[in-house]
Amino acid sequence: MATYICQVDVTEGEFQNPQEFVSVWGDIREDVERLGGEISSTFAVLGDYDFHLILQVPDEETAFQATQVVERHGLDTKTLQALPLDRLGELVDDV
């Protein structure tokens, strides 16, 4: 499976309270699993984005669908494809 980092920005005023916001994560996780993917980690972060989701999905089309699932809940995203460092070493060795 391919790894993607989904940077998530919570739009101010989108959620009434923290409990409402937290309940959305369960819905997002279930929707991503229905697509054949998995949210392997979730991090609250400081900086330009509020959260980072680590997605494991079969292909880039599923990655696109997963980001749409997140955005459907009123969250803005920027998604990056990630490559584990050990795999990077293998690719460099092949050049």
Give the count of domains, the chain: 1
How confident is the model at residue 67, as a pLDDT?
95
Check: CB of residue 43 under 8 Å from CB of residue 94: no
How confident is the model at residue 89, as a pLDDT?
79
pLDDT tens digits for the chain (95 residues)?
A: 999 999 998 876 666 566 777 778 889 999 999 999 999 999 989 999 988 999 999 999 999 999 999 999 889 999 999 988 888 878 887 77
How confident is the model at residue 12, as a pLDDT?
66
How confident is the model at residue 17, as a pLDDT?
63
State the pTM of this model: 0.84
How many CB atoms neighbour CB 72 within 10 A?
12
* Domain containing residue 50: 2-93
Check: CB of residue 6 under 8 Å from CB of residue 66: yes
Query: How far apart are the C-alpha atoms of 55 and 61, rounded to whole Å?
Result: 13
**Residue 39, φ and ψ in degrees, nearest 5:** -90, 105
The token pair that represents 33 in the structure block = 């699993």
Helical ranges in the chain per DSSP H: 18-34, 60-72, 85-93
CATH number of the domain at 61, please.
Answer: 3.30.70.100
